[in-house]
Amino acid sequence: MAEDDRPAPGRNLTHRLLETTGRQIVTGHYAERPFPTEAELATGHRVSRSVTREAVKMLTAKGLLSARPRLGTTVQPEARWNLFDPDVLRWLLERPASVPLLRQFHQLRRAIEPTAAGLAAQTADAAGLAGIADGLVRMQQAEQGHDDPLEADIAFHVAVLRASNNPFFAQFRDVVGTALRFSIQVTNRIKGGTADVAAHGAVLAAIRDRDADRAERAMLAIIDDVSDLIEGSAGGGPRA
Amino acid sequence: MAEDDRPAPGRNLTHRLLETTGRQIVTGHYAERPFPTEAELATGHRVSRSVTREAVKMLTAKGLLSARPRLGTTVQPEARWNLFDPDVLRWLLERPASVPLLRQFHQLRRAIEPTAAGLAAQTADAAGLAGIADGLVRMQQAEQGHDDPLEADIAFHVAVLRASNNPFFAQFRDVVGTALRFSIQVTNRIKGGTADVAAHGAVLAAIRDRDADRAERAMLAIIDDVSDLIEGSAGGGPRA
DNA sequence: GAAGCATATTTGTATGATTAATAAAACCCC
DNA sequence: GGGGTTTTATTAATCATACAAATATGCTTC
């Protein structure tokens, strides 16, 4: 079963082991079989116990594992996982594409981003506005093939999160980034998004006008637009 | 000198070191002075290098630290911290009470919980409904002194998050718990919440009726109520 | 001055020995 | 037998030491 022994990048042995093991856990590799003991992990991966222990500690810190003497190291129930940890988030997406997960992502975006836009309208400073404006410019340039449309879109949404002046909202940049990147894999019929640029411009305008309500509605419209795409693509796939 | 050497609970040495060091980082103890090297940490805390390294790895996993050979271990910029990590969240709150942080918490709740209530109205199963109903019962009993009003309140809100059937929303249970517990410290003029029970009952009723819109509005009303308390006697929220 | 080299510092890795926690089995007393 | 106690085996936790790898800094050389 060397199926999960993919290359696994990483600066050092500990990070490599962290990657492969984290991915294995999230993909349910240890759903039935017991998680290996410290010594087994070490010999199995040809690394020292130090490396093993440190990787296990990192996975523990992310909520994936729990270790106690005599009990051994065990996988924590999924509810304890730190889903907003960038690594965990990435591992979640590296398993076979699931439309349900994508839908859950967008339910979250639907809750977060309109409110963030509203907050930005109330509190954004010059730098925040400039960041959003810059994202919009990139989208316009992408329209003419001078920039990557996906990255430009992400930059815009992340800029809004930042401009909310609330670190908790800013924290969602990884979620938005992964959700958007993942969307394009599933609903790969997304074009440059000609209509989108106008909608995004409306958000910026509302924020500039300090009109929180309008900003919220404009952002909500954008996200619901994407959500429709997702639900549409579910036609060929399983619907929850 | 020994100001930050508080007891620091924990099952083992590594967790104790994790606790004290994490708290120090979050409270800005290393804002100016450089973060100690591995050897310094070990001797300073009278523990072995293994313990030190494992604690540092856990803090790295939570986004607080970054270590590279020759460069040493350095504190990451605050934007990289995993704010939704339960430990980080707790350390944030253990520093002197800050009303801005509490306000940011409630801005987040305002974004999350109404949407969660709406989702619950659409997707909650029998178990989910039962959980919410149970929370409401606890609140009613707390009204008569038969339960802890704060814990009952938390139980209700967490139950709604769970009933949303979206693991990302369920993840916010720690945030809601800490935010509520923290609120009571700051706005300690909160009473049993006689009026609250009715408002919470309205949320449950809307979810039972599968009326997502009403559920959202009802939950929003509850949170804005608390937000008003935080803002003091300041004018109502900027909500149209 | 620019390119390359030496060096010192710090984390990374490996290994062996010992200790502590604890679940399960063995035991004992009634 | 049954209920509590003791032993035992297993596993993580801790400590100590040695060496390797990475890399910023400063020195040398041309």
What pLDDT is recorded for position A187?
Answer: 66
- A145-154's contacts with Cβ under 8 Å and 24+ in sequence apart are A149/A192, A149/A193, A150/A180, A150/A181, A150/A184, A153/A180, A153/A193, A153/A196, A153/A200, A154/A180, A154/A181
What pLDDT is recorded for position B14?
Answer: 97
Whether A110 contacts chain B with CB within 8 A: yes
Confirm whether A91 is domain-assigned. no
Q: How far apart are the first and last CA of chain A?
A: 31
Confirm whether B151 is domain-assigned. yes
Asked if A83's CB is within 8 angstroms of B85's CB, the reply is: no
Whether A119 contacts chain B with CB within 8 A: yes
Q: Indicate the residue among A80, A111, A146 that finishes a domain.
A: A80
Confirm whether B236 is domain-assigned. no
The arithmetic mean of pLDDT across residues A207-228, rounded, is: 93
What pLDDT is recorded for position A240?
Answer: 37
For residue B237, what pLDDT band results from cuts at 50, 70 and 90? Answer: very low
pLDDT tens digits, B12-58: 999 999 999 999 999 999 998 999 999 999 999 999 999 999 999 99
**Number of domains chain B contains:** 2
pLDDT of A211 higher than 50: yes
Residue at minimum CA to C1' distance from nucleotide D15? B48
Share of residues in chain A with pLDDT > 70 (%): 88
Separation of B49 CA and C19 C1' (Å): 16
Q: How far apart are the first and last CA of chain B?
A: 52
Are the CB atoms for A24 and A30 separated by under 8 Å?
Answer: yes
Task: Please name the helix (run of DSSP H) or strand (run of DSSP E) that holds residue B65, with its range, or none.
Answer: strand B65-68
pLDDT tens digits, B105-130: 889 999 999 999 999 999 999 999 99
**Do residues B109 and B226 both lie within one domain?**
yes
**Do residues B75 and B128 both lie within one domain?**
no
How many residue pairs from chains A and B have C-beta atoms closer than 8 A?
100
The arithmetic mean of pLDDT across residues A180-192, rounded, is: 66
CATH number of the structural domain spanning residue B9: 1.10.10.10
Alpha-carbon distances of A22 from A30, A60, A88, A95, B55, rounded to whole Å: 11, 10, 7, 12, 19
**Do residues B107 and B223 both lie within one domain?**
yes
Are the CB atoms for A155 and A138 separated by under 8 Å?
Answer: yes
**Per DSSP, what are the bridge partners of residue A67?**
A73
Of B62, B169, B170, the CB nearest to A61: B62
Confirm whether B86 is domain-assigned. no
Of A59, A122, A166, the CB nearest to B238: A122
**Do residues A108 and A184 both lie within one domain?**
yes
Share of residues in chain B with pLDDT > 90 (%): 68
For residue B6, what pLDDT band results from cuts at 50, 70 and 90? Answer: low
Asked if A122's CB is within 8 angstroms of B170's CB, the reply is: no
Question: Phi and psi for B65 in degrees, rounded to 5?
Answer: -125, 165
Q: What is the mean pLDDT of chain A?
A: 88
Chain C footprint positions (protein CB, under 7 Å) = 8-16, 20-23
Of A58, A87, A168, the CB nearest to B57: A58
**Do residues A121 and A183 both lie within one domain?**
yes
Q: Which of A54, A64, A165, A176 to mutate to test the interface with B (most CBs of B within 10 A)?
A: A54
Closest chain A C-alpha to B62 CA, distance in angstroms:
7
pLDDT of B236 higher than 50: no
Asked if A111's CB is within 8 angstroms of B171's CB, the reply is: no
Q: Indicate the residue among A50, A80, A110 that finishes a domain.
A: A80
**Do residues B102 and B193 both lie within one domain?**
yes
Confirm whether B237 is domain-assigned. no
**Do residues A149 and A219 both lie within one domain?**
yes
pLDDT tens digits, B53-102: 999 999 999 999 999 999 999 999 999 999 999 999 999 988 876 788 88
Angle of helix A173-186 relative to helix A149-163, nearest 10 degrees, comes to 150
Alpha-carbon distances of A27 from A47, A144, A222, B16, B169, rounded to whole Å: 23, 40, 32, 31, 21
Report how far residue B196's alpha carbon sits from residue B207's, in angstroms, rounded to the nearest whole number.
17
For residue B174, what pLDDT band results from cuts at 50, 70 and 90? Answer: confident
Tokens of A225: 């637009």
Residues 53-82 in B having a C-beta less than 7 A from any atom of strand C are 53, 56, 67-73
Residue of B nearest to A113 (CA): B111
* Ramachandran region, residue A125 (left: φ > 0; alpha: ψ -120 to 50; beta: rest): beta
**Do residues B46 and B104 both lie within one domain?**
no
**Do residues B75 and B107 both lie within one domain?**
no
Residue A108 CB-density burial (10 A; 0-12 exposed, 13-18 middle, 19+ buried): buried
CATH number of the structural domain spanning residue B141: 1.20.120.530
User: Pick from B126, B128, B125, B149: which is nearest to B137 by CA?
Assistant: B149
Tokens of A13: 């042995």
Q: Name every residue whose Cβ is closer than 8 Å to that of residue B158 and which is 6 or more positions away in sequence.
A: B135, B173, B176, B177
What pLDDT is recorded for position B170?
Answer: 96
Confirm whether B240 is domain-assigned. no
Tokens of B127: 């178990």
Confirm whether A239 is domain-assigned. no
**Do residues B67 and B181 both lie within one domain?**
no
Which is more confident, B154 or A191?
B154
Whether A39 contacts chain B with CB within 8 A: no
Q: Name every residue whose Cβ is closer than 8 Å to that of residue B12 and which is 6 or more positions away in sequence.
A: none
Whether A171 contacts chain B with CB within 8 A: yes
**Do residues A129 and A65 both lie within one domain?**
no
Share of residues in chain B with pLDDT > 70 (%): 88
**Do residues A133 and A171 both lie within one domain?**
yes
The domain of A41 spans 2-80
pLDDT tens digits, A62-82: 999 999 999 999 999 999 999
Closest chain A C-alpha to B218 CA, distance in angstroms:
16
The arithmetic mean of pLDDT across residues A190-219, rounded, is: 87
**Per DSSP, what are the bridge partners of residue A190?**
none
Whether B122 contacts chain A with CB within 8 A: no
SS3 A172: coil
Confirm whether B185 is domain-assigned. yes
Which is more confident, A178 or B158?
B158
